[in-house]
Amino acid sequence: MIVLVSSSVVSAACGAQLGEPSALSGGDDVSSGSDDVPPANGSGSGGTNVDGTDAGVPPPKPTPLDPCCHDRAHCVASTDIPAASQTFLDNDSCDDDQLCVPDQILDADPIATCTANSGALGDYTGVCLSDCFHFGVAGLALAKGSCDSHELCVPCDVGGQPTGAPGCP
């Protein structure tokens, strides 16, 4: 069974990758305060943000994720990745406490369907997944099929059993 990064990891990782305060705050730039918010006590910076921080102090910018897998993936803390998914991710050039998660998953891109033929699986349909995933020995049975470069066609089921590959119905 192939289980990969959960949507909560995608959300957390995507937020960490954004880096623009307006993207994180819904478009309002709270870092400069607001002219229509009076100072709380007649002095100060102009009020308090929703999170309780001083509106005159810019919120910290998220730390960008380090690239890995030839710039087709980014390093994510292992603690943010479900244990069942960690098997399919390599450390690559990431720190010891991180795993390399393909951008295809972090960006929540639509996952294309594919057809392929391999000696081990015969003709099959599946989904195109980044070759940054670690498929282990099972990867030897996978073919590129109709996928783009740097992707493999991963079957949605084998022998009538679902594989759990992301993007499969």
Phi and psi at 2, nearest 5°, equal -110, 115
| pTM of structure | 0.63
Distance CA 150, CA 20 (A): 29
How distant, in Å, are the alpha carbons of 119, 143, 145, 146, 153 from that of 123?
Answer: 9, 10, 10, 12, 11
Question: How far is residue 124's CA from residue 99's CA, in Å, rounded to a whole number?
Answer: 30
pLDDT of residue 41: 46
Tens-digit pLDDT profile for residues 86-124: 999 999 999 999 999 999 999 988 999 999 999 999 999
pLDDT band of residue 78 (cuts 50, 70, 90) is very high
Checking if the pLDDT of 71 tops 60, the result is yes
Phi, psi of 24 (to 5 degrees): -85, -25
